[in-house]
Structure 1
Amino acid sequence: MRKQHLKSKTCPVCNRPFSWRKKWRSCWENVIYCSERCRRSKNIAKRTT
């Protein structure tokens, strides 16, 4: 896969786009958050909205 054609998603916590990474190749469908920080902050984001 070339860098120009990488799949991307938007993080629901920080609303930033993030791209496919090689370490996510087996679980890309299950990846929701762009980082551990956002994954840990998911409950805080729900409470403030």
Structure 2
Amino acid sequence: MARRNANGIQPAKGDLPRRICAACGLDFAWRRKWARDWANVRFCSDRCRRAGARTPPA
């Protein structure tokens, strides 16, 4: 399931959807392995997933 536009050309890396990691706060781009579950992806890596979501400073 490759991400390709209507012309069959793979989009540039800068054009892929981006998110902010709930644990470390860094932004990360869409990856092919997340294609089916992109709506539920919250963390940029397994390390951040294990650390869990940070609570915002009060």
Normalised TM-score (structure 2): 0.68
Deviation at 1:12, TM superposition (A): 1.3
Question: Which residue pairs with 2:31 in the alignment?
Answer: 21
- Structure 2 unaligned regions, length at least 5: 1-10
- For this pair of structures, how many residues does the alignment match? 46
For the residues of structure 2 that align with 1:11 and 1:23, how far apart are their CA atoms?
Answer: 17
Larger Rg: 2
Normalised TM-score (structure 1): 0.79
Root mean square deviation of aligned Cα: 1.7
Deviation at 1:4, TM superposition (A): 2.3
Greater helix share, structure number: 1
Structure 1's consecutive aligned runs of 4 or more residues displaced over 6 angstroms after TM superposition are none
- Structure 1 unaligned regions, length at least 5: none
Percent of residue pairs bearing the same amino acid type: 39
Tell me the amino acid that sits aligned with residue 38 of structure 2: W
Question: Which residue pairs with 1:3 in the alignment?
Answer: 13
